[in-house]
Structure 1
Amino acid sequence: MNTLRKIFLALVFGAVALGARAQELDCRVVINADNVEATDKRVFQEMERAFAEFLNNRPWTDMTYQRHERIKCNLILNVEDMPSIGNFSGTATVQAARPVFDASYETMSFYVFADKEWVFEYTESQPLEYAENTYVNNLTSLLSYYAYLIIGTHQDTFSPLGGTKYLDRARDILNATQGQQRPGWESFSGPNSRYWLVEDLLNTRMENFRKGMYDYHRKGLDIYAEKPEEAMKNVMGFLRNLKELNSLRPNSLLLRSFFQAKADELANMFSKGNMTLRKEAYEILTQVNPTESDKYEKILGK
């Protein structure tokens, strides 16, 4: 068994038992504060370091990851306002990737998500405190919420509904914030809020979306190099489910985020092979994701 296959199988089964817990995330944190008037910009450099250490040096699960198995992810925070010293607000973009078997590229496992309601306090050199199932402060609630979403959605791509317990932890964090009057955590925060993101992921009506993440990645992308037609058929089944889900929850955040990350990938996958499958894929994709219709023209060779 070659090294790549060993690494990949370790990821499929979630972790390697080595008798000690290790960190799950390999997160790159970027803080952009160009629009903030501050006499000392070092606070933002320190913020980058502190956020990265919090995400990358903390064990979030009882699994053990070797360094090459850690989930690559990005947290890009555009700080837009500093109303007073130690108080910040901005927009965060969060994304994560997983390897594709027998391919030289990675694919998104947590979709590009722009959270416009990051409001938090931060003091240089002060430790970031976090306690399971307890609200300590908004900053560590935000960071830990996304850590669990990244891990949960990542695990879903390797086993059907495999990330449920980590998504449950993200919802526990959300529940602990209720009553704190912080934006983004409440049901009335709007359809693009953190509240609705995790609620949609755990809603039984949307369960076929999460099951489809396994079909799309493990039974689609991971076998595409060796069995392209079988992979296309498996992904086609998922697209049919997406059509039904779109009728249940039109323009849902989950579907919009998925297509934002996957439109190019889908267009490439269905750009060759069985024309009957390609035509059906084109019809579904242009119906449920009309904003990316230009990209899907590639499927029919236009």
Structure 2
Amino acid sequence: MKKIISLFFLIFLFNNYFSQELLATVQVNSQQLGGSNQQAYKALEKSLRDFINNTSWTGKKLQNFEKIKSNFAIVISERDGNRFKGTIVIQAVRPVYSSSYESPLINLQDNRFGFEYIENENLVFNERQFSGKNLIDVISFYIYLILGYDADSFQSTGGTQWFQKAQQIAQNGESQNTYEGWKQVNEPRNRSQLIREILNPNMSQLRSTIYSYHRAGLDNLFNQDQTLAKKAIFDALMKLKMYENSFQQNYFFDVFMSSKSDEIFNIFNSGNNGGIVIGDLKQLMLTLSPKNQAKWEQWK
């Protein structure tokens, strides 16, 4: 009977965990514009924070400790009335079992962020159509991206339903001709490209790697014996060798390596790597992430 109750409790926690939503911070930086009138930017900051944290993205209501920690940092570089241009950095982290460590899920910068905003306007998300102002469209796209990444890290391809939501938003964005960042043509590293690559069956191994890396690897890394956890991470990463001739033009792959390179380096930089052939992983990382060559070369 106790075993049945325990199993029920674990299933309850499992099902509720995957309904996570966001606990987000938002920063809006307007220093490039100069001037002392910051009221509109503070209003935008608050509106976005309330929009992200108070909207029900998954249909479940959760405690703060259950939500995904994330950050949206916006730098405004141009303003024309109620129209703005700038960049947005999106970051999210994932808790690691039996530790206080938080692993980076996603860390990317979008340089094509143009939008319209009227101070204190009500922000309402409608997934069926483009808003016309691009602000909630971009933010909502990245929220579902974060939800997808998080779910993928706990269950193999568990984020598909959220990635599909992001894809619908991207398709809505592609249907308009006012704002950058959605079109496949003449806009490399655009949002539509990213979500199409994530859902492309050819990238299923990378999604599988993300799951194994986190669940079999990181979630066991803080055990007294790290051997099996490091081996699981090593094995998951070595499966990315299949992309060594195609990763250069792949935005999804680039986001993974950019978000995880520091963590990967630190995991295997302790010198206590069991029976892992670190030279094999070093050579693969030099191929897949050459901009971090100086880092990988430190592995012994």
Using structure 1 for the length normalisation, give the TM-score.
0.88
Change (3 A) 1:129 1:50: same
Change (3 A) 1:11 1:287: farther
CA distance in 1, matches of 2:66, 2:229: 24
2:121 equivalent in structure 1: 126
Give the alignment partner of residue 254 of structure 1, picking from 252, 255, 258.
252
In the TM superposition, what are the counterparts of 1:106-117 in structure 2 within 5 Å?
A: 106-110=102-106, 112-117=107-112
CA distance in 2, matches of 1:36, 1:12: 47
1:264 equivalent in structure 2: 262
The answer as to 2:285 corresponding to 1:285 is: yes
Give the alignment partner of residue 85 of structure 1, picking from 81, 87, 95.
81
1:11-46 per-position Cα deviation (integer Å, ceiling 9, x unaligned) = 9725269xxxx9711111000100114562210000
In the TM superposition, what are the counterparts of 1:43-82 in structure 2 within 5 Å?
A: 43-82=40-79
Change (3 A) 1:103 1:42: same
Return 96-105 or 276-285, whichever deviates more: 276-285
SS at match of 1:250: helix
1:47-100 per-position Cα deviation (integer Å, ceiling 9, x unaligned) = 000011111000101344321011000100010000x21110000000100111
CA distance in 2, matches of 1:248, 1:105: 32
Contact map agreement 1:16 1:66 (CA 8 A) in 2: no
Same amino acid, percent of matched pairs: 29
In the TM superposition, what are the counterparts of 1:1-302 in structure 2 within 5 Å?
A: 13-15=14-16, 24-38=21-35, 40-82=37-79, 84-110=80-106, 112-137=107-132, 138-181=134-177, 182-226=179-223, 227-271=225-269, 272-274=272-274, 276-300=276-300
CA distance in 2, matches of 1:23, 1:270: 30
CA distance in 2, matches of 1:251, 1:240: 20
CA distance in 2, matches of 1:103, 1:23: 19
Contact map agreement 2:44 2:120 (CA 8 A) in 1: no
Amino acid at match of 1:107: S
CA distance in 1, matches of 2:144, 2:125: 13
1:203-250 per-position Cα deviation (integer Å, ceiling 9, x unaligned) = 110111111111011111111122422122222222222221232332
Change (3 A) 1:16 1:245: closer
SS at match of 1:13: helix
SS at match of 1:254: helix
Between Structure 1 and Structure 2, how many residues are aligned? 286
Contact map agreement 2:25 2:70 (CA 8 A) in 1: yes
> Which ranges of 4 or more aligned residues in structure 1 deviate by more than 4 Å?
9-12
Q: CA deviation at 1:120?
A: 0.4
Change (3 A) 1:217 1:107: same
Amino acid at match of 1:176: N
Contact map agreement 1:270 1:281 (CA 8 A) in 2: no
1:90-129 per-position Cα deviation (integer Å, ceiling 9, x unaligned) = 000001001111222101112x111011110000111113
Q: CA deviation at 1:254?
A: 2.1
SS at match of 2:189: coil
Contact map agreement 2:213 2:237 (CA 8 A) in 1: no
CA distance in 1, matches of 2:280, 2:86: 41
SS at match of 1:131: coil
Amino acid at match of 1:164: T
Amino acid at match of 2:82: G
Amino acid at match of 2:281: A
SS at match of 2:248: coil
CA distance in 2, matches of 1:281, 1:274: 14
Q: Which sections of structure 2, spanning at least 5 residues, go unmatched?
A: 1-9
Change (3 A) 1:16 1:220: closer
Aligned-residue RMSD, C-alpha: 2.1
Q: CA deviation at 1:153?
A: 0.6
Return 251-260 or 210-219, whichever deviates more: 251-260
CA distance in 1, matches of 2:116, 2:216: 43
